Every structure is written in C-alpha cells, then in structure tokens.
Structure 1
Amino acid sequence: MSRQTFLQGALVLMMAGIVTRLMGFVYRIVLTRLIGAEAMGLFQIVFPILGLALTFVTMGFPLAIAKLVAEAVAKRDSHRVRRVMRISSACVLASAGLCMGLMYACRHLVAQYWLTDPRAYPTYLAMIPVVGVIAVASLYRGYFQGIQDMTPTAWASILEQSVRIISIWGLAAYFVRFSLAYAAMAAMIGMVLGELSGLLFLIWQQRRRARMNQVVPEPAYARTSEPLRATLRAITQLSLPVTASRLIWSLLSAAEPILVLRALGLAGVPLKEATALYGAYSGMAIPLLVFPTVVTSSLATNLVPAVAEAQASGNVERIRHRLSQSITVTAMVAFPASVVFTFFAAPLTRAIYGDAHVGPMLAIMAPFVFMLCLQSPLTGILQGLNRAGTAMVNSIVGGVARLAVILVLATRPSLGILGVSIATAFSFALTALLHLVAVVREIGFQMRTSSVVRIGVASAAMLAYMLLITFRSGSSLSGSRLVLALVGGMILYFALLCSFRVLTSYAVGRVPKVGPWLAAIVRHLPFAV
C-alpha cells in the first residue's frame, strides 16, 4: 500500500468534498421540491439531535485513532495499531449501543420537551439507527486517515450521497402523499441507507487494501510494551478535548431551532410559518453558504498532523508557511463566493430552490464567507499546536454570542428570520478573529499580502463581468443568463489568478486527474508561469 503525501491527501479529500457537496445540493434541491420548506423544517429540527448523539458516541476517537495509528505506522509497530483499534472500537460500540437505547427509551420525553413541532417525531425515530452506523464508520475513517490513505474515505462519501439521492426519489415522493411528517421521515431513512452503504464500502476497502500486513509489513521494527491503561490514556488525552468542544457546540446547535422558533413566535410569526422560515434558513441558505468550506475543511484535516510534525521538530517557520498558505487558499475560494452570494443571492436561490425569498437570508451572511472558511484551517492549526482547548473556547464564545444576538434581533417583527442571519454572520466573524489571535500569539504572523490583494482584484473583475452580463435583466434574471454569467465569471477569475501568478502551472498540475490538462492551459495564458 502506497501512502499519500500531505498535498495529495488534501487534494483527494478536496475533490471528493466538492463532488459530494454538489451531490448534496442535488439532494437538497430534489428533497425541497418534493416535500417543501415546511417538511424540510421538520427534518432540520431533528438534525441537531443527531449531532449531539454522535458527539457522545464517537467521543473524538476518530481524531485520536488517526494520530496514534500514524505514529505507530511510522514506527512499524503493528501491535500498537491493533491495540488502539481494539480499545477505540470497544469504547465506541459500547457508547453507540447505550446511546441508541437511551434515545429510544426517552423518545416520549424528547417529543414532549425537545421537539418544538410534534410532527418531527417520526423523523426522530427514523434517525436512531443512523447513530450506530456512523459510529462504526468513524472508526474506519480514523484508521484510513491514520495510514494516510484518503481515497477510500473519499469514495465512501460519494457513494453515501448517491444512495441518499436515489432513496429520496423513491421514498420521499411516496410518503409525501400521506403527510409532511412522513415525508421528513422518508428523508431521514434515505440518510440511514446512504450511511450504511458508505460503511459497507469502507469495510470492503479495509479488507482489500488496508489489512495489517499491508499497512505494516512484517517483520515490524518495534513492538511497544505499554500496558492497556497507557494506551487508553493516550487516546483520551486526544479525544476528551475534542469531545468537550463538540458536545458544547452540539448543545448550542440543538438549542438553536428551539430558540429561533420561539423568537419568531414572539415576533408574531405563526408556528407553521416559523417552521418553514427556519427550514429555508437552515436547509437552503446555510448549505449554499457553507459550500466553499469543502476546500478549507479538507485542508484542515491534513493540517493537524502536518503542524504537529513541524512543532515536534521545532520548525516554527514551516507552521507560519502553512498559515500563510491557508489564508491564501481561503481567500481564493471565499472571495468569489462572497461576490456571487451577495450580489446574485435572489436569482441564485430562485434557480436552485425555486424560492427567491431565501435570497435575503443568504445575502446578509455572504460578505462573511471568508471568516467562515478561515475557521477550519485555523482550528486545524490550533489542534496541531496542542491548543484544542483554545479552539473549543473560541467556538463556544462564538456560538453563545450567536444565540444571544438571535434572541435580541429575531424577536423584532421588522427583522424576524433576517435577525438569525445577522446573528450567524456575527458569529462567523467573532470566532474566526478569536482563532486568528490565538494562532498569532503562538507562532507569530508572516504572509505575503500581495497574493490576497491580487485575489481581491480578480474577484472585483469577476463581479464587473457578471454585472455587465446581467445588467438589463434586473430581478427577472433568467437561469440561462445566470449560468452564462457564473461560468464566464469563473473562467475570467481563474485566468486572472494565473496571470497574476497566484496560481502557477506547477501548482495546478498537482490536482488529481485533471491537473496536467489544466497546467497545459495555464502555461498558454499571458504572464502565467
């Protein structure tokens, strides 16, 4: 088995993330058109509970597995790899069984005191099996990350989305005829089937290409004699801070729909309309807004071991270089996304969801996409620097601030759901700034601002082109003209990045599959190298 480099692993996850996000949009579009915004609201009311349950079940073990397995593989210690996997599997499986049992036993209490809309109860019941499936899959994902083979994880994600989309075409279209509650339940069943298909694929891949004798060929160079308690302590030292962070964040996320619906109620919005508005915000505007984070999230996944390795060798300059790269990549993705989401929010949401009313929610948050995207790589750097607790505190501060601002703004009849969008944008900015301050305190700050300036100029040129194409269309911008503006704008943006030498033929050539073809194009652009 060949190991992937840092850049190869990041690019594999990035390409797979882009594909799965695009497929996720197809899933959202099909689901929204089949069951409507109100049923989407029922689905989203239940979804934060899943995040909370998974926090208790996985307990940060995937990250601990990835780090400890990587260390053991580097030392060719197959016995420690097995010991880490056995302990992690026992803990995760036990917690998954306990959690699913409690979720079912307490189903009536959840329906009475947690679910703000009783129609979400069938969706909650359908959600329970997915906890166990995702828990087992997380063990395999951590293992593959530890042996630095991201390809199975990438293909598993694509398979999950494919099965999910196919499932909702059949299930949601059938159950929507009975009630919106059962339509939302069908969407959750589709998620269960998708996650199960991904798990089975990971199991097959592990048996085919990642057995222990393939990962650590015998004879092994070393064999640790550490006791079981020492291995467990090493796992918990990594997993507990991550668990605490995710737990508190999941609690905040689970409290959000309750707070939003009650705040909208205080603003005079009826429950059904409030549910539909929250469904449009969380199920339509937010997925579109976070699409660019697929790039920075993939980057963050590979930043943790890279930064940890640089810190262990005392190479602070390399960490600063990683920070500079992260900011540049984030700007390359976030700046054009902000342009499109800010100035073309209404026609974009009308073309995608068939609902232009989502546009104002998106447009309010769009200028802060850069801050949103920057959170992931900064978190990865902090975790690699053993400052996971700092990242946790910063995220909690941002989450609490968001809920507080929601309570202040969403209760105003003049703002309503737009107050939620303002609160979310404020949270993005606050969290990213806190992360950046923490990173700078640890390693200092050194980067070439000229690259960010050039990216800004290219984004402005892209905006000018798109406005020129759509100038006479106004609010009645057709889908074909919007596509023409988007495609032409992105081609212009890419060409300018290459001409400004922000992107080089060498960098583009390392993109999997299409890299050499793109590099040949870049070399023929004016001023490009």
Structure 2
Amino acid sequence: MLWRRRPLVAGAVTLFLSGLAIRAVSTVYRVALVRVAGEDILGLYQLTLPIYRLGWTLAPFGLPVAISQLSADRAGRGDMDGARRLRRAGLQLTALIAAAVSVGLALGSEGIAVHILTDPRTRLPLLVMPFLLVPAALCSAFRGVMQGEQRMGPIAASNALEVALRAPVVIYAVGWTAAYGVEWGAAGIVFGLTVGEVASLALLVWLARSSLGIPDFARRPKARVRFGVSDFLPNARRLLRLAAPVMGSGVLNNVLNITSVAVIPRRLGLAGLAMEEAVRAYGRLSGMAIPILYMPMVVIWPIVSVLEPTVAKRRAQRGTQAIGPLVRKSYLIAAVISVLSSAAFLLLPEQLGHWLYGVEGLADLIRPLAVAAPFAYIGYITSGILYGLGRTGIAMINSAAGNLVRLVLIWQLAADPAWGIVGVMWGVVADYAVSSLCNLISLPWAVRRSAL
C-alpha cells in the first residue's frame, strides 16, 4: 500500500534499504581490497581515479540529470509520449559520446600517464579504463530514465547487482594480477569494476523496455518503434541545454582534481616525502579517509535521487510552493545524519581506521571529517534541489568555487612540513564548505526565479 499511496517515501525507502546492503558489501569489499592489494596498488589506482572521473563526466555528458528532470517535467504535464522520446534521445546521445570519449582515452593513455600523472605505471590501468567507461555511462543514463519515472526499484536492483559482482571479481583479479607488478594489480581493479557495470547495464536494459516505449516482442512480434532524426535532433538540443552545465561542472571539478593529483605529490615532496611515500599518503587520504565521509551517504543519496524528479514534477503540476515541505524534510534528515557522523569522526577517529582497514595513524585524516560532514551532506541535498529546478548552471558555479579554494589550500599547505597530507584534507573540507554555503545562498533565488 505504501508503494501506491506514497511513491516518494517508497522510492526513498527502497533505495535506502538497498543502499544499506550495498554499503555493507562495499565496506567489506574495501577492507578486503586494502588487505589484498596493499597500499602501493591502492595508491596507484587512486592516482588514476581523477582521470576516470573526468572520463565518466564527459561520457554521459550530464545527460542522466537532464533525462530525469525533463522527462519528469513532461510526465507532470501529461505528455507521456514526449517523455519517452526524450529518454530515447538521451540514451542515443550517451552512447555516441561515451564511445568517443573512450577512444580518446585509449589513444592518450601514454601521454596522460607520463606527463599528467607523472607515473608511467598508471598507463596499464588507463588502457583498461575505456572498457569501463561505456557501460558505466550507459548505466548512468538508464538510471536517469528510471529516476525520472520515480521507479527506484530497478535502480536499487542494478546497483545491488553491480556491487555483488564487483566485490568478488575485483578481489580475485587483484589477487591474480598483483604478482605481475603494482600496475597489473591496479588494472585488475579496473577490470573487476567493468564486469560489475556490464552486468548492471544488461539488467537495466531489460527493465527499461516499458520506459522507452519498446514493446514486449514475445507478445507483439510485429510491433515497431518509430523514432527518426526529426525526433532526435530537437530532443537532443533540449537535453544538451540542461546537461551542458552539469557536464561543465563535472569537467571543471575533475580538471581541478587532476591538477590536485599532479600537484599533491610534488608539494608533498617539498615537505620531505619521497614520491612513493607521497603516493602512499594520497592513497590513505583518498582511498581510506574520504570514503568514510561517504558511508553515511547511504541515507542521503536515496533522498536526493527521489528529490530531483519529484521537484521537477511538482513544479510542473503545482508550482514552486509545493517544493517547500520537501526541502524542509530533506534538510532535517541531513542535519541529523551530520550530527551523528560528526560525533563519530571527532570522538572515534583512530578506532574507525583500525576497525575498517586494520591500519594505524588515520586519526589525523579522519578528525577533519567532523567539520566536512554537515557541509557535504547538506550541500548534496541543495545540489539535488537545484538540479530538480533546472538550475544546473548555479550548481556548476558553486562547485567550481569550492574546487578553486581546495586547490589554493592544497598548494599552500601540502608543501608545509607542519601540515603535509593533513593540509590536503583541510583543503577538501574547505571545498565542501564553500560549495555548500554557496548552494544555500543561491537556492532561495533559484526558487523565486523558477516561480516566474
């Protein structure tokens, strides 16, 4: 009954329950990965992640957000056929762009490894990465389709399948490839991620047939789907107008992250660390400490996933006055999670590092997360609301401001022996704080503009 009467709550509950299971598996997976791979393989893999994140941002091109928001808006206005055409155009665009980005990454892998990441060992995992990008981008686009319909069950199922396959395959692949060298171990991690994404994509394609207007061919073998260039081009333009700021924000953030990765080892070297020590320290920060901040996101992420299409649909049906209760409830939940998380990060930093990873000395990196948590969680909520309102450009500018502050602080603090890698963490904290505060300031203006 809840699923029919309260689809918003039901969708959030579905994602929350699946998220709990996924988070439990992911925690075990990450702990096992740290123990099997070791800090050197994990550090090298983390060094390549900004490149993957940049590719993953370019490949879907911000289209999942546009698909979700625009199709929900069309559905709210009663234009179901138009919503289906938008979804199909979005998926076609994603496939084309993802293929182009993957080819570009494969061709540029050597230059990226040597000149940007400054570690030739990263070339092998970069060569495997294009095989991950295409299914990952298409999965994201299909989830945008489901999100726009507020069908959270398929999203939860695909996420669960991806994690269930990823964990054992990655552990096995790393255990098998690590004997051949650190670079092979990092490539094994990327291969395991690819297997999970391919399986998730296959499930999403099957579950999304009705969303795209594709008939059940077992029952209607002669039915044909009509979708030509005259449908594709206008819908593609609408999608790209909304998606471009999302993509721009992601690209800018990732370029700044790549710059940070290129800068951090050099700046840590000025603080007295050798290159291998700097890579290992960066792996501890980005592969161990920061993921702890994201663990409570198991509660926040379902809310944002449901919030984006719901804001778009309610605005189309009843105007911006219907958005207020959603915003207040979302803020309350984020505030509660922030208080609990900050207390744990502040009071149990050393214990968290030991319980989760079996390593000592993470307390100095975990303790600053107590400051970051409220900004990170509330900032994620406000970004979701801005996306639902179609104000993706505002979110892009705010995120860029935070990233610029992060880069400046990293440059100043990482080279100081008194700060070192802890200074890098405080740069991350400042990034969350600036982005979140800018979102909070911008949101009332965005709501007023959307009401006009």
Instruction: Identify the range of structure 1 (241-250 vs 268-277) with the bigger mean alpha-carbon deviation.
Output: 241-250
Q: How far has the Cα of 1:78 moved from its partner? A: 5.4
Map 1:4-403 onto structure 2 (within 5 A): 5-74=7-76, 77=79, 79-207=81-209, 212=214, 228-312=232-316, 315-403=319-407
- State the distance in 1 between where 2:87 and 2:321 align: 34
Whether the aligned pair in 1 keeps the contact of 2:91 and 2:142 (CA below 8 Å) is no
Q: How far has the Cα of 1:322 moved from its partner? A: 2.2
Compare CA radii of gyration and give the structure with the larger one: 1
Q: Which amino acid aligns with 1:115?
A: L
Deviations 1:175-197 (A, max 9, x none): 22232221111111111111111
Deviations 1:109-152 (A, max 9, x none): 11221222222221111212001111222232122122221111
1:430 paired residue number: 434
Identity level (%) = 29
Whether the aligned pair in 2 keeps the contact of 1:293 and 1:372 (CA below 8 Å) is no
Deviations 1:197-225 (A, max 9, x none): 111121232348985469xxxxxxxxxxx
Instruction: Describe the SS at the equivalent of 2:179.
Output: coil
Whether the aligned pair in 2 keeps the contact of 1:3 and 1:148 (CA below 8 Å) is no
Q: Which amino acid aligns with 1:243?
A: M
Instruction: Describe the SS at the equivalent of 1:331.
Output: helix
- State the distance in 2 between where 1:141 and 1:410 align: 38
Instruction: Identify the range of structure 1 (395-404 vs 306-315) with the bigger mean alpha-carbon deviation.
Output: 306-315
Whether the aligned pair in 1 keeps the contact of 2:15 and 2:152 (CA below 8 Å) is yes
- State the distance in 2 between where 1:9 and 1:420 align: 37
The structure-2 alpha-carbon separation of the partners of 1:183 and 1:425, relative to structure 1 and needing over 3 Å to count, comes to same
Q: How far has the Cα of 1:5 moved from its partner? A: 1.4
1:465 paired residue number: none
Whether the aligned pair in 2 keeps the contact of 1:115 and 1:121 (CA below 8 Å) is no
Map 1:492-511 onto structure 2 (within 5 A): none
- State the distance in 2 between where 1:227 and 1:140 align: 19
The structure-2 alpha-carbon separation of the partners of 1:229 and 1:281, relative to structure 1 and needing over 3 Å to count, comes to same
Whether the aligned pair in 2 keeps the contact of 1:3 and 1:147 (CA below 8 Å) is no
- State the distance in 2 between where 1:410 and 1:325 align: 39
Whether the aligned pair in 2 keeps the contact of 1:44 and 1:279 (CA below 8 Å) is yes
The structure-2 alpha-carbon separation of the partners of 1:257 and 1:22, relative to structure 1 and needing over 3 Å to count, comes to farther
1:415 paired residue number: 419
Deviations 1:38-78 (A, max 9, x none): 21111111111111112221111112222333344456655
Instruction: Describe the SS at the equivalent of 2:323.
Output: helix
TM score, norm. by length of structure 2: 0.90
Whether the aligned pair in 2 keeps the contact of 1:42 and 1:279 (CA below 8 Å) is yes
Q: How far has the Cα of 1:385 moved from its partner? A: 2.9
Instruction: Identify the range of structure 1 (415-424 vs 178-187) with the bigger mean alpha-carbon deviation.
Output: 178-187
Instruction: Identify the range of structure 1 (429-438 vs 66-75) with the bigger mean alpha-carbon deviation.
Output: 66-75
Instruction: Describe the SS at the equivalent of 1:329.
Output: helix
- State the distance in 1 between where 2:189 and 2:142 align: 25
TM score, norm. by length of structure 1: 0.77
Q: How far has the Cα of 1:317 moved from its partner? A: 4.2
1:498 paired residue number: none
The structure-2 alpha-carbon separation of the partners of 1:316 and 1:146, relative to structure 1 and needing over 3 Å to count, comes to closer
- State the distance in 2 between where 1:440 and 1:73 align: 25
- State the distance in 2 between where 1:96 and 1:15 align: 31
- State the distance in 2 between where 1:429 and 1:325 align: 21
Instruction: Identify the range of structure 1 (346-355 vs 74-83) with the bigger mean alpha-carbon deviation.
Output: 74-83
- State the distance in 1 between where 2:171 and 2:372 align: 34
- State the distance in 2 between where 1:254 and 1:282 align: 13
- State the distance in 1 between where 2:386 and 2:211 align: 32
Q: How far has the Cα of 1:312 moved from its partner? A: 3.9
- State the distance in 1 between where 2:375 and 2:101 align: 35
Instruction: Describe the SS at the equivalent of 1:413.
Output: coil
Instruction: Describe the SS at the equivalent of 1:176.
Output: helix
Q: How far has the Cα of 1:362 moved from its partner? A: 0.8
Any stretches of 5+ residues in structure 1 without a counterpart?
215-225, 445-529
Q: How far has the Cα of 1:346 moved from its partner? A: 0.4
The structure-2 alpha-carbon separation of the partners of 1:366 and 1:164, relative to structure 1 and needing over 3 Å to count, comes to same
Q: How far has the Cα of 1:239 moved from its partner? A: 1.1
Deviations 1:485-505 (A, max 9, x none): xxxxxxxxxxxxxxxxxxxxx
Q: Which amino acid aligns with 1:176?
A: A
Instruction: Identify the range of structure 1 (408-417 vs 56-65) with the bigger mean alpha-carbon deviation.
Output: 56-65
The structure-2 alpha-carbon separation of the partners of 1:210 and 1:442, relative to structure 1 and needing over 3 Å to count, comes to closer
Whether the aligned pair in 1 keeps the contact of 2:84 and 2:211 (CA below 8 Å) is no
Whether the aligned pair in 2 keeps the contact of 1:4 and 1:149 (CA below 8 Å) is no
Instruction: Identify the range of structure 1 (185-194 vs 88-97) with the bigger mean alpha-carbon deviation.
Output: 88-97
- State the distance in 2 between where 1:206 and 1:352 align: 37
- State the distance in 1 between where 2:334 and 2:9 align: 16
Whether the aligned pair in 2 keeps the contact of 1:320 and 1:443 (CA below 8 Å) is no
The structure-2 alpha-carbon separation of the partners of 1:90 and 1:320, relative to structure 1 and needing over 3 Å to count, comes to closer
Q: How far has the Cα of 1:85 moved from its partner? A: 3.4
- State the distance in 1 between where 2:4 and 2:286 align: 41
Q: Which amino acid aligns with 1:389?
A: G
Q: How far has the Cα of 1:434 moved from its partner? A: 1.2
Whether the aligned pair in 2 keeps the contact of 1:13 and 1:298 (CA below 8 Å) is yes
Instruction: Describe the SS at the equivalent of 1:6.
Output: helix
